[in-house]
Amino acid sequence: MTPQIAAAMKAGNLGTRWPQQKTKKSVMPTGEHPGMHIASLTEFGSRPFASVALAGGYRYIEIMQILLRLFRAGGYVDHNASVTVINGPIGKMRRELRVWLTLDG
């Protein structure tokens, strides 16, 4: 991910679609937005997450931390939810995510 895309994603919100539309030709916006995924996963906020894992490179973690704040504000993630940050080489992240999934999943 480029620094420019990361900055644009950080400036967005739960309704910002990615990848961003390149032309205005399409009537319907292209891409997907974080709000559409978190809403369906939490039954539109009626079952907020109590535990969250953020796994990825440093730019992805930065963006996920911003989204996490938005998810909490929207009622999709409990304000007291435990948050695990998994960062490092891909093999290490995969192992740590597997452990997190088997303990919390």
Helix (H, G, I), strand (E, B) or coil at 3: helix
How far lies 73's CA from each of 54, 76, 77, in Å? 17, 8, 8
Encode pLDDT of 45-77 as tens digits: 999 999 999 999 999 999 999 999 999 999 999
pTM above 0.85, yes or no: no
Angle of CA points 22, 26, 30, to nearest 5°: 60
Q: What is the pLDDT of residue 70?
A: 94
- If you ran DSSP here, which 8-state letter would residue 88 be given? S
